[in-house]
Amino acid sequence: MRTLLRSCPVLFAAIAFGCPSGDGDDAVQDVPIDADVQVADAIEDEGASYTDPGVCGSLVLHGGDQGTMAWPDAGTSPECPFEGDDGSARHGCCEEPAVCPLPVVPRVNMDDGGRPLFDSWRDVACEDAASLLCTGESSNCWPHTCFPLAWSGEGVCAYPDGDSSCDGEGEAVGYGGGHCVFCLPPESLAAACCAGLDGVDCRAWPFPADGKPGMICARHEDCEPGLICGPAWGTGYGICQCPEHYHLLPSPAPGVCP
């Protein structure tokens, strides 16, 4: 299955944007903004093919009218999170400002209390997840597979048919410094976070408006000002993105994700 994933990143690998803002002091916890440098260093000796996402990402857009920015059902959107007098803000990575009222966020998998299921990994004890750590060279995952979360080969055990749609086979997991999203069991993310794997998004929800382009979200307030929580190529979660990318279902360019 990993061979298929690597050969068809548009269909199966998840969303890659990435727009680090500020210097190192402003880095989001557990998602280093210098992840591109770390990745390049990690694979230099392995000869792996890597596409540098750059400052604002390397992505492929699917569907919609790329010349049109439209908010469906804007009248039912949540309260605008922007503080500007005109109710708008433009992010440094975006061509268009986010204008209030904002669009309705995509469908996010939630529990009965309104908590996103992608946050449920925090309910798993570290000792219960430790056995799910693996590497590509030495995997203890049978009959499942070792899903690499880093170019070094470090990863977690997961079902072999996972994809970018969280439709009953896991929840959204951010990795690759926030450039990539995949749907994995909460226990697998707990294993990665407890072990401190580089580039894995281990933030606790709700997020304090620190989501950069490509990072997982469940509400507009999870993203940096000027970004919206919009649809992804997968389902069951939202992705922080530029307003002009709404409904264009971005996915990573080949070589962005491990």
Q: Domain-by-domain residue ranges, the chain?
A: 2-252
Give the C-alpha separation, 34 to 72, whole Å: 36
- For 36-72, give one letter per residue: b (16+ CB within 10 A) or e: bebbeebbeeeeeebeebeebbbbbeeeeeeeebebe
Residues 233-244 pLDDT 10s: 888 999 999 998
Query: Mean pLDDT for the chain?
Result: 74
Please report, as a single letter, which amino acid is at residue 83: E
Q: What is the pLDDT of residue 104?
A: 85
Cis preceding linkage at 143, omega within 30: yes
Please give the pLDDT value at position 66.
42
Which of 14-28, 41-55, 78-92, 199-213 is predicted most confidently?
199-213
C-alpha torsion sign, points 77, 83, 88, 93: negative
The reply to whether the predicted model has a pTM over 0.85 is no
